[in-house]
């Protein structure tokens, strides 16, 4: 019986994000939201462990009211119960403040054998929440796991680093962040989606966790956003045409040589 | 006034460390403060001189057998003690996977802010540090400021240039090797080195990118031939690694960020996460069958056509032109 908690984030679906090309501002309000991709891998992994060894999978998020939709999706995939930590004072929290909120929630939810997170979120991609949580909870951490197995009280994971792949072991309780390679997340069946509506979503406010306002939101954050702008794209966009592949290739080759970027 | 002073640099990756010193010395100049290099490891004292030659005013050395192999907790505990004691205002750390974990956990222990994967760091008129990074999958650049110190940032490979080595540089060396270090909470049971290309992809001046337009793994040879002619390397999109399992590394937001002089995208659609990794290439050429592919918006030179025809022809044309010049 393994008790697993999966931290999920309701992220902006970056593939559907639109930019106002005149101002280079993002039109965020219109962008659809979804569970951050790697968090789905974390959920899938948790559910597979539960299917194999028995136990319980809980999931938690901190975010706006509508993050409930994300939690429903997690419940439909197979999580047993979900927690939404939501309060208007959490808005504009950085990773320092967000990890504080999550850590307080986790302490209240109870003890776990494994806590799973995605390696990073698809919208902000800072890869800090998992490591910060492990520190706040004082438990071992394995990042970038692309394979995971359990035996007794030990977790073994394979992680891909820049120069090697490493197999590491840690005693539970442990926090593991997973990559996309670890599994292929399931698509919930219609039945599973219907069943998810019967599962419980617990909602906690700051007061339920005794979180003081100075530790969250802008006041509790160490980093503040000044500006968000779409990058400038200044490319020549010259189409090279010709009758034959060879003709095109010659034109392109000459152009590249003229650019002075080819040295040999 | 805050009591935090000084710019620090640390990465377990040696090349990246020198780049951090390059950027660090410019920032230290602007902030009118000193640049300190932190060195962790075992039997490392002979490397001190090099760090000074590459710009460090001061080197803090923790030379300890417990640091022989990289394990997060002993390294982290060394860094935590050093930063608590010496209070730098800015700490530049390397954005390797190990480095990012280290930086985030150090920030957690110090109750500090951390900005991951900085593309640019500037000091504004008010003396504030502005940190820029990519967000929303490559759709935007966010500029962030810190409200507290130390300010911890991580910086990827090849973002900034190292300084020219100066043999005569003098610097102060502080040896703090007798610190109490935590023991590792995880145990490394196996390490399998990855075969990395002789020069890393970040190093290559020319990169030929291959995407799902490649039909078979062996077809990378036509890209490789072009790369050979140009003295470059081949890089791939994530699906060739993750879905098809043909290769081990990819270029993009979640992979390598490159800024070669020339990037030729072959059979790559140019989805935002891939583009995030090639955005700073000097010249981008795209070869794609689909005139509507998003890569067209990102390219200087566009060929609408079949990569199986164009790429070999381009190799041939270049070979001829380069031989005759
Ligand atoms: C969180 C997240 C992170 C990601 N990170 C990365 C990343 O770091 N790097 C990355 O690359 N991807 C990343 N991806 C995946 C990314 O979204 C795209 O799926 C991927 O980049 C597409 O790869 P592609 O261009 O090779 O394939 P496709 O999008 O399928 O494009 C193939 C292109 O080849 C063209 N083509 C086909 N045959 C030929 C031919 N014979 N001649 C010429 N053209 C041809 C087609 O017209 C098409 O445009 C990430 C995704 C997510 C969700």
For the stretch A156-183, pLDDT in tens is 999 999 889 999 999 999 999 999 999 9
pLDDT at A177: 98
> Interhelix angle for A95-109 vs A129-137, to 10°?
50
pLDDT bucket at B199, cuts 50 / 70 / 90: low
Same fold yes or no, B7-175 and B201-324: yes
Closest residue to B98, CB basis, from A26, A161, A257: A161
Partner residue facing A237 (CB), from B104, B140, B302? B302
A11 and A62 in a single domain? The answer is yes
Could you tell me if A94 and A176 lie in one domain? yes
Q: Do A69 and A171 fall within a single domain?
A: yes
Contacts for A260 with CB less than 8 Å, ≥ 6 apart: none
Assigned domain for A263 exists: yes
Domain membership of residue A61 as a residue range:
2-215
What is the mean pLDDT of the segment spanning A129-133?
98
Give the rounded percent of residues in chain B with a pLDDT score beyond 70: 98
Half-sphere exposure of A230 (CA within 13 A, CB side): 18
CA A142 to ligand 1 center in whole angstroms: 29
Nearest-angstrom CA–CA distance, A129 and A21: 32
Chain B residue numbers touching A122 (CB-CB < 8 A) = 137
How confident is the model at residue B53, as a pLDDT?
A: 97
Which pLDDT does position A261 carry in this prediction?
82
Query: A239 C-alpha vs ligand 1 centroid, how far in Å?
Result: 21
Q: Is residue A82 part of a domain?
A: yes
**Per-residue pLDDT for A190 more than 70?**
yes
Token representation of residue A147 = 């394979």
Separation between Cα atoms, residue A92 and residue B229, nearest integer Å: 50
Ligand 1 first shell, C-beta below 6 A: A 37, 122; B 211-213, 237-239, 250-255, 267-269, 271, 273-274, 277, 287-290, 293, 306-308
Q: Check whether residue A117 and residue A247 sit in a common domain.
A: no
Mean pLDDT confidence for B78-93: 97
Cα–chain center distance at B62: 24
Residues A77 and A138 in one domain: yes
A240 and A109 within one domain: no
What is the Cα–Cα distance from A243 to A186, expressed in whole angstroms?
A: 48
Are A211 and A238 members of one domain? no
Q: What is the mean pLDDT of residues A45-70?
A: 97
Residue B2, pLDDT score: 64
Provide mean pLDDT across the span B51-58.
Answer: 98
A94 lies in the same domain as A168: yes
Q: Which residue has the tokens 């706006």?
A: A64
Q: Does residue A262 form part of some domain?
A: yes
pLDDT tens sequence across B240-284 = 998 898 998 899 988 898 999 999 999 999 999 999 999 999 999
A223 domain residue, yes or no: no
Residue B103's alpha-carbon distances to A7, B84, B143, in angstroms, are 21, 14, 19
Query: pLDDT at position B76, please?
Result: 98
Complex confidence, ipTM: 0.93
Cα distance between residue B288 and residue A150, in whole Å: 45
Q: What is the pLDDT of residues A58-81, one digit of tens each?
A: 999 999 999 999 999 999 999 999
HSE-up of A232 (CA within 13 Å, CB side)?
2
Confirm whether A42 is domain-assigned. Answer: yes
Task: Assess contact for B304 and A239: CB atoms under 8 A.
Answer: yes
Lowest pLDDT segment from A255-259, B195-199, B307-311: B195-199
**Contact predicate B29/B145, CB 8 Å:** no
Question: Across residues B51-67, what is the average pLDDT?
Answer: 97
The reply to whether residue B105 touches residue A236, judged by beta carbons under 8 angstroms, is no
Residue A148 and residue A242 in one domain: no
Q: Residues 161..190 of A with a Cβ closer than 8 Å to B: which?
A: 161-170, 180-181
Q: What is the pLDDT of residue B196?
A: 64
Q: What is the CATH architecture of B7-175?
A: 3-Layer(aba) Sandwich (3.40)
Residue A25, domain member (yes or no): yes
> Rounded to a whole number, what is the distance in Å from the CA of A163 to chain B's nearest CA?
5
Within chain B, strands assigned E span: 7-10, 35-41, 58-63, 90-94, 113-115, 120-123, 129-135, 140-146, 151-155, 172-175, 186-193, 206-210, 233-236, 262-266, 283-288, 301-304
First CA to last CA distance, chain B: 62
Q: Could you tell me which residue, A233 or B300, shows the higher pLDDT?
A: B300
Q: Which two tokens stand for residue A92?
A: 């504009």
Whether A137 and A261 share a structural domain: no
Banded model confidence at residue A226, pLDDT cuts 50, 70, 90: very high
The rounded Å distance from CA B249 to ligand 1 centre is 14
Residues sharing a CB contact under 8 Å with residue B21, sequence separation 6 or more, in sequence order: B9, B35, B37, B51, B54, B55, B56, B162, B163
Report yes or no on A221 lying in a domain. no
Q: Can you give the pLDDT at residue B1?
A: 45
Q: In what order do the strands lie in the sheet with B301-304?
A: A238-239, B301-304, B283-288, B262-266, B206-210, B233-236
Q: Is residue A222 part of a domain?
A: no
> φ and ψ at A145, to 5 degrees?
-75, 130
Contact B7, B27 (CB under 8 A): yes
Q: How many domains does chain A have?
A: 2
Percent of chain B with pLDDT over 90: 87
Partnered with residue A170 across adjacent β-strands are A155, B186
pLDDT band of residue A263 (cuts 50, 70, 90) is low
Averaged pLDDT, B5-25: 97
Does A41 score more than 90 pLDDT?
Answer: yes
How many angstroms separate the CA of residue A164 from the nearest CA in chain B?
Answer: 4
DSSP B225-272: HHHHHTT-EEEE-HHHHHTS---S--BSTTSB----SEEEEES----H
Domain formed by B201-324, architecture:
3-Layer(aba) Sandwich (3.40)
Q: Residue A212: pLDDT above 70? A: yes
Strand, coil or helix: B120? strand
Q: Are residues A108 and A185 in the same domain?
A: yes
Residue A260 scores a pLDDT above 90: no
Neighbour tally for A100: CB within 10 Å: 24
Task: Provide the residue ranges of all domains of chain B, joining segments of one domain with +.
Answer: 7-175, 201-324
Q: Is residue A109 located within the same domain as residue A189?
A: yes
């Amino acid at each position: 019986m393994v008790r697993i908690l999966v931290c999920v984030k309701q992220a902006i679906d970056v593939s559907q994000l639109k930019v106002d090309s005149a101002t280079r501002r993002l039109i965020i309000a219109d962008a659809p939201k979804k569970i951050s991709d790697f968090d789905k891998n974390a959920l899938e992994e948790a559910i597979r462990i539960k299917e194999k060894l028995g136990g319980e999978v809980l999931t938690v998020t901190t975010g706006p009211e509508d993050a409930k939709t994300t939690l429903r999706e997690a419940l439909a995939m197979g999580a047993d119960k979900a927690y939404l930590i939501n309060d208007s004072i959490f808005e504009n929290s950085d990773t320092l403040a967000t990890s504080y909120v999550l850590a307080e929630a986790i302490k209240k939810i109870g003890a776990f054998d494994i806590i799973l997170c995605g390696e990073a979120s698809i919208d902000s991609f800072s890869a800090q929440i998992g490591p910060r949580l492990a520190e706040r909870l004082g438990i071992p951490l394995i990042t970038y796991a692309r394979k995971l197995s359990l035996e007794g009280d030990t977790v073994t994971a394979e992680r891909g680093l820049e120069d090697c792949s490493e197999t590491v072991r840690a005693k539970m309780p442990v926090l593991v962040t997973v990559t996309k390679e670890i599994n292929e997340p399931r698509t919930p069946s219609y039945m599973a989606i219907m069943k998810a509506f019967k599962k419980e979503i617990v909602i906690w406010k700051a007061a339920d966790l005794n979180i003081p306002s100075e530790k969250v939101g802008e006041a509790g954050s160490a980093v503040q956003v000044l500006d968000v702008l779409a990058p400038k794209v200044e490319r020549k966009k010259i189409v090279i045409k010709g009758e034959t592949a060879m003709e095109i290739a010659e034109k392109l080759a000459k152009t590249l040589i003229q650019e002075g970027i080819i040295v040999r | 006034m805050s009591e935090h002073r000084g710019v620090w640099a640390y990465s377990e990756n040696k090349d990246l460390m020198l780049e951090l010193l390059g950027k660090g010395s410019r920032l230290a100049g602007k902030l009118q403060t000193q640049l300190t290099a932190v060195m962790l490891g075992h039997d490392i004292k002979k490397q001190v001189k090099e760090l000074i030659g590459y710009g460090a005013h001061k080197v803090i050395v923790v030379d300890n057998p417990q640091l022989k192999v990289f394990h997060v907790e002993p390294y982290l505990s060394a860094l935590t003690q050093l930063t608590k004691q010496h209070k730098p205002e800015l700490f530049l750390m390397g954005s390797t996977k190990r480095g990012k974990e280290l930086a985030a956990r150090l920030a957690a222990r110090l109750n500090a802010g951390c900005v991951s994967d900085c593309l640019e760091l500037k000091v504004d008129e008010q003396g504030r540090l502005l940190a820029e990074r990519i967000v929303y999958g490559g759709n935007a650049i966010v500029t962030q400021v810190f409200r507290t110190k130390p300010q911890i940032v991580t910086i990827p490979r090849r973002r900034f240039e190292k300084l020219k080595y100066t043999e005569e540089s003098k610097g102060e060396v502080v040896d703090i090797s007798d610190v109490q270090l935590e023991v590792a909470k995880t145990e490394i049971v196996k390490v399998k080195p990855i075969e990395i290309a002789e020069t890393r992809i970040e190093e290559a001046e020319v990169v030929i990118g291959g995407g799902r337009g490649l039909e078979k793994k062996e077809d990378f040879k036509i890209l490789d031939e072009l790369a050979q002619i140009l003295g470059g390397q081949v890089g791939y999109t994530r699906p060739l690694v993750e879905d098809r399992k043909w290769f081990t590394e990819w270029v993009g937001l979640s992979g390598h960020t490159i800024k070669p002089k020339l990037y030729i995208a072959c059979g790559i659609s140019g989805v935002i996460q891939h583009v995030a990794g090639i955005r700073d290439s000097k010249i981008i050429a795209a070869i794609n069958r689909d005139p509507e592919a998003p890569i067209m918006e990102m390219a200087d030179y566009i060929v609408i056509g079949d990569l199986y025809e164009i790429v070999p022809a381009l190799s041939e044309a270049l070979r001829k032109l380069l031989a005759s010049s």
